[in-house]
């Protein structure tokens, strides 16, 4: 089976489904997107690796794994999303130590969070992309937009790919705050190491500044 390289387009959250996040992967040599519904903690970890806007004073779990791996000369070479069963993605981390390759089973969000930290490529098989890949609508003249498509994904995660611990309900209490208040709360949340709260505040800021 042929492998298809993917890049990370970003993470989106639903305007209507509180606590729901979708990791959007791009087909490198094509137009299809591979959306994967993930939990808030995993979304936070990937977002930090992507944006580098929030610098935790102590390493998060995926940062700790990277530090541990580097200490023992373990390198993550690539990540492969290798299976989709009953709407759940399964992934493998391809590691190497002393020129010996090992394959480690992992949740897709964890695998991608590590791939980002090791600058490792991400792949899936063509048949998985054929089955789960979609074309997000972006033509405003038709009254359709990408955010609406993502809301559809997040509203019905069982229709697309997800993880076994996907999306718990959470309330967004930040809509009524001003931008300056949000930035103050973001700084406080980071200082208190409350990264889930920091991620939600960052998302509210990003929504307003986009």
Domain ranges of the chain: 3-159, 169-209
Model pTM above 0.75:
no
Give the DSSP H or E segment for 7.
strand 3-13
User: Which residue, among 122, 124, 99, has the nearest Cα to 2 in the 3D structure?
Assistant: 124
Largest CA distance in the chain: 55
Per-residue pLDDT of the chain (210 residues; tens, 9 = 90+): 799 999 998 888 755 455 668 888 999 988 898 888 888 888 888 988 887 667 777 888 999 999 999 999 999 999 999 998 877 899 999 999 999 999 999 999 999 999 999 999 999 999 999 888 887 654 444 444 555 555 555 555 444 555 644 433 333 567 778 889 888 888 887 787 676 677 778 767 877 776
CA–CA dist 89, 9 (Å, integer): 18
**Nearest of 80, 82, 81, 77 to residue 118 by alpha carbon:** 77
pLDDT given for residue 142 in this prediction: 46
Instruction: Please give the C-alpha separations between residue 199 and each of 28, 35, 151, 164, 185, in angstroms, as whole numbers.
Output: 27, 20, 19, 21, 11
The span from the CA of 36 to the CA of 50, in Å, is 16
The CATH topology of domain 3-159 is Bifunctional nuclease domain (3.10.690)
Run of H or E residues at 185: helix 179-191
């Amino acid at each position: 089976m042929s492998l298809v390289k993917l890049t990370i387009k970003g993470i989106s959250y639903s305007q209507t489904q509180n606590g729901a996040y979708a990791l959007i992967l791009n087909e490198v040599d094509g137009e299809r997107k591979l959306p994967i519904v993930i939990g808030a903690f995993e979304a936070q970890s990937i977002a930090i690796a992507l944006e580098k806007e929030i610098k935790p004073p102590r390493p998060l779990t995926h940062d700790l794994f990277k530090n541990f791996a580097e200490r023992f000369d373990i390198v993550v070479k690539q990540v492969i999303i290798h299976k989709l069963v009953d709407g759940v993605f399964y992934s493998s981390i391809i590691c190497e130590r002393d020129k010996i390759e090992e394959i480690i089973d992992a949740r897709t969000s964890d695998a991608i969070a590590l791939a980002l930290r090791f600058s490792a490529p991400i792949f899936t098989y063509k048949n998985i992309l054929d089955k789960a890949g979609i074309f997000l609508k972006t033509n405003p003249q038709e009254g359709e937009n990408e955010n609406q498509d993502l809301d559809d994904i997040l509203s019905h995660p069982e229709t697309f790919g997800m993880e076994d611990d996907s999306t718990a309900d959470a309330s967004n209490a930040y809509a009524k705050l001003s931008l300056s208040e949000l930035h103050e709360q973001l700084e406080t949340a980071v200082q208190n190491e409350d990264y889930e709260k920091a991620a939600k505040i960052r998302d509210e800021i990003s929504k307003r500044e986009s």
